[in-house]
Amino acid sequence: VAAGPVLATRLARERRDVAAGLALSLLYLKQNTALLVPVALLVAGRYRAFASWAAVGVVVALIALVSMGPDGIAAYVTQLRGELPEGADNLTLEGAFGVGGTAATILRILIAAATLGIAFRLRRSPGLVIAAGAIGSLLIPPYLHGSDLCLFGVAAWIVWEEMTGRGW
């Protein structure tokens, strides 16, 4: 999952937006980890990157529907509504700050809006847009695992590359 934003950054810098969107398709392996990255690219005006990412999503959804059938989809949705594994919310708004329910939902909306506003402001730098989307994405899910935090390292590396590549 972390390789997707790295590859997308490299490709987006070269204005290869369709290929960048295809690279972001790796995010479908675990959508909640970097959900805002493609949306941030859309807000930043990278329409072709978003469209190619979304097109792959439609294909993945169709394959899942055909292979699992309606009963399999219903069973999967039922599993999603189940209890979270113990400790899965330790790294979230609920676990870190003790905020839950409506307050957590409002905070998630504010974080997502701020992330997308930052993406729009940084739209001239696709790497910074992707990094902002990655960081915002890690702040809003209802559960995270420790391994998901490697995306912070990816975001830091992308920011480092963007800043040093411009001679700052």
The pLDDT value recorded for residue 163 is: 87
**What is residue 84's predicted lDDT score, i.e. its pLDDT?**
67
Instruction: State the Cα–Cα distance between residues 11 and 21, nearest whole angstrom.
Output: 9
Q: What is the mean pLDDT of residues 8-26?
A: 94
pLDDT digits (tens, 9 = 90+) for 146-163: 888 889 999 999 999 888
Q: What is the pLDDT of residues 79-114, one digit of tens each?
A: 877 776 676 777 788 888 888 889 989 999 999 999
Higher pLDDT, 83 or 52: 52
Cα-Cα-Cα-Cα torsion 157, 161, 163, 168, nearest 10 degrees, comes to: 120
Predicted confidence at residue 24, as pLDDT, reads 95
| DSSP-assigned letter for residue 85 | P
- Cα 27 to Cα 5, 30, 77, 112, 136: the distances in Å are 8, 6, 19, 17, 15
